[in-house]
Amino acid sequence: MIQIYDTTLRDGTQREGISLSGADKIRIARKLDELGVAFIEGGWPGSNPKDAEFFERARQIEWRHALVAAFGSTCRVKGGPEDDANIKALLNSQAPVCTVVGKTWTLHVTDVLRTTFDDNLRIIEQSLAYLKAQGRRVLYDAEHFFDGYKADPAYALETLRAAARGGAETLVLCDTNGGTMPWELGPIVRTVKNALAAAALPTPLGIHVHNDGECAVANSIVALSEGAIQVQGTINGYGERCGNANLCAIIPNAELKMGLRCLPEGHLERLFEVAHFVAEVANLAPDEHAAYVGKSAFAHKGGIHVAAMRRNETSYQHIDPALVGNQMRVVVSELSGRGNLVSKAEEYGLKTLSAEEVAEVLNDIKTLEAQGFSFEAAEASVALMLKRQQADYTPPFELIDFTAIVEHRQGRGMFAEATVKVRVKGEVLHTAAEGDGPVNALDTALRKALSAHYPEINQFHLDDYKVRILNGEAGTAATTRVLIDTACVDSNAVVFTAGQTSPAQNGAAEKSHIRRWSTVGASTNIIEASWRALADAVEYGLLMI
């Protein structure tokens, strides 16, 4: 079984824009343990209070699958490990595993450590031996190994032999600068493995690569194919500069493509959830185009693709997305064919639409997208277009007219007021409301008109409001596209859900009964564009409750 060594909490946090609290690190570590990784590197003990807090709290947790590892460097040059502050911090962390980084590259020995080659070998061996004598499991990270090997193969191998003599249970070869190519890395790993065996030091190898050449995942896979038994990386590939090797791609590649078990049986399907959970805790937008765990990883937009998928899902998918907790999605746009709309109609439970009705909606979508609409991220608007094709469909309200006024009043400043006239169940309702701006005033007036008949509208709230200018060369006459994301908290919100996700993806939302949907409008008049998106959002929400 391949050992997955996760360093999100240490190497991952070196990415610009990531700062995790001690509580954040514990939350992520628990999720990694649930995933089933073998090692969780908690940080560098003694380097900062948050890492100290993590190791203190980690000691009180019963980990089901993972071992907590503390990271640190060899003892200082011309000194010993017994009185070295860094080595003491590793021991004081009480982590069962200590991962020690040492110098491989002669350039670093002479220019960074400013010591001799022999002294570097000494501190590697003595540091590991001392930690092992204190009852710790010891892993060795050979920093800059591939650059060091290219500069001086004999010395690079000698540093590994020193670590093996010191008691390292795994020798991890690091491409710290991230510039090694796969065709270079494979032969080097093979040579190292044979050299250690010839020296009667057959210590297992691990791999730790960075992504500066966009080869971190490929290099990790190559190392595994050459017999490495441990792979180090981070969730979503977070890390310094261009990032670390992305475990969210490495794990499924190893398990599904290479037949190498990395996680406990049945745990691979948790990968999508873990990837998005870590992104959320790190306060970063998830990369939805990431392999395996992005929401677009199995999204199909082209009409030819979808037509083929409807006949055989393996025609345009390299794996069953459920294996990693993801799902297949059909995206609707001007590139769609009838199959895209038929799939969407089936998804929304609208199986009675005729071929002519589907074709009419498809033509409308193509026409509207030419005018500036975009339905890829507005599936609720697509759902409504399909729903409105049903002969027995009666919309919950019908717009008669509206006005929106923005003015400046002395002593009061900017002021917005809107009136809305709608027909609801045969009754004409005419309401007015003030707002911070014209869209807010329209929203308030519409809610005011509908709340007597549909009190559930009070559960809706605006989640996001995006405005994009499509043809800026037209100046203030440019077409404006408005996307509105709406959310609702309601325990009964289970009907007619656009973009419904799988249980693994939707777990957090199910627990809090949150439903979200997106709608779109476009026009040269920003108020009209906003109204179309707003009205669709309300109509869809009333159907969903």
What is the Cα 85 distance to its own chain's centre? 37
Look at the chain and count its residues. 545
The two tokens of residue 398 are: 């019908």
Residues carrying CATH 3.20.20.70, the chain: 3-281
At residue 132, the pLDDT reads 97
pLDDT at 323: 96
DSSP codes, 435-486:
ESSHHHHHHHHHHHHHTTT-GGGGGEEEEEEEEEES-GGGGGG--EEEEEEE
Strands (E), 351-412: 398-409
- Taking the model in full, what pTM does it have? 0.75
Topology classification of domain 398-544: Double Stranded RNA Binding Domain (3.30.160)
Q: What share of the chain is helix, strand, coil (3-state, %, to 5)?
A: 45, 20, 35
Taking only the tens place, the pLDDT of each residue in 289-338 is: 999 999 888 877 666 665 666 667 677 788 999 999 998 776 665 555 55
Tell how many helices (H) and how many strands (E) occur in the chain. 18, 16
Residue 307: per-residue pLDDT: 62
Measured between alpha carbons, how far is 52 from 43 in angstroms, rounded to an integer?
Answer: 8
Instruction: Determine the residue type at 403.
Output: T
CATH no. for 3-281: 3.20.20.70
The token duo for 498 is 């656009």
As a whole number of angstroms, the distance between CA 305 and CA 347 comes to: 17
Residue 298: half-sphere exposure toward Cβ, Cα within 13 Å = 21
Ordered DSSP codes for 184-195: HHHHHHHHHHHH
For residue 17, count CB atoms less than 10 angstroms from its CB and return exposed for 0-12, middle for 13-18, buried for 19 or more: exposed
What pLDDT does 495 receive?
A: 38
pLDDT value at residue 506? 43
Residue 71: predicted pLDDT:
97
The predicted pLDDT at position 471 comes to 78
pLDDT in tens, 16-58: 999 999 999 999 999 999 999 999 999 999 788 889 899 999 9
Low-confidence ranges of the chain (pLDDT < 50): 492-512
For residue 5, the model assigns a pLDDT of 98
Look at residues 479, 487, 482 and name the one whose alpha carbon lies nearest to residue 463: 487
Rounded CA-CA distance 468/473 in Å is 13
| Span 175-202, pLDDT tens digits | 999 999 999 999 999 999 999 999 888 8
Q: How far is CA 213 from the centre of its chain?
A: 21
Residues of the chain with CATH 3.30.160.270: 398-544
CB 464 within 8 A of CB 444: no
Q: Is 291 exposed, middle or buried (0-12, 13-18, 19+ CB in 10 A)?
A: middle
